[in-house]
Amino acid sequence: MDTKTKGDLAEQAAVLEALKRGWGILKPIGDRLPYDLVFDVNGSLVKVQVKYAWLDASSQNYVVDNRRTKTNRRQMVRDTYNPEDFDFALAYIENLNIFYVFPVDVFISYGSEVHLVETEKRQRKPRSAAFRNAWELISHWASQGETLVRSSVKVGEAVGRVIPSQAPITLRVVGEGVET
């Protein structure tokens, strides 16, 4: 099975899991964006990058590459992700039907690979163990969402000058109250 097919399997497993949780799913057209899916969790949109984990025979760990891969007809280029590229990364282990749910900052903090240890013969659990099937991280993140309300652009702002009396006010809508 080629890597593109494995990635498609992981995406479809993520879609199924999101549907079971009652979340909406949006799928971008093409693969130019740094995320694969968007989950609609109670009105909050969560950008998700999905990775398929493979078994590394020498270490007996499952591994995912935490870099972006761009290819054309002549070369394959790998690059790092940025914190604004997506909100969560899902690493899927197909034969165990397990997802690791990583917040973007955790996912990109690893080197070039994330090793997922599924053996119990370790003295201490690896850092990744906290993210094993941690779907509640997405629900919690979505429920913490803030809505920014901004005023329209004032005369002078477009050229870089803002008259103090016309400065925009940013409001944060948090729960029931509004803060300025």
In DSSP notation, the chain reads --HHHHHHHHHHHHHHHHHHTT-EEE--SSS-SS-SEEEEETTEEEEEEEEE-EEETTTTEEEEE-EEEEE-SS-EEEEE--TTS-SEEEEEEGGGTEEEEEEHHHHHHSSSEEEE---S--SS--GGGGGBT-THHHHHHHHT--EEEEPPPPTTGGGT---GGG---EEEEETTEEE-
Q: What percent of the chain has pLDDT over 70?
A: 76
Q: Taking Cα atoms as reference points, which of 166, 127, 172 lies closest to residue 150? A: 172
Query: What CATH number is given for 3-143 in this structure?
Result: 3.40.1350.10
pTM across the whole model: 0.75
- Cα(110)–Cα(106) distance, integer angstroms: 7
Instruction: State the pLDDT at residue 123.
Output: 67
pLDDT tens digits for range 20-32:
999 999 999 987 8
- Asked if 149 contacts 171 with a C-beta cutoff of 8 angstroms, the reply is yes
Q: What residue ranges do the domains of the chain occupy?
A: 3-143, 147-179
pLDDT tens digits for range 71-127:
667 777 778 888 999 999 999 999 999 999 999 999 999 888 898 988 776 667 788
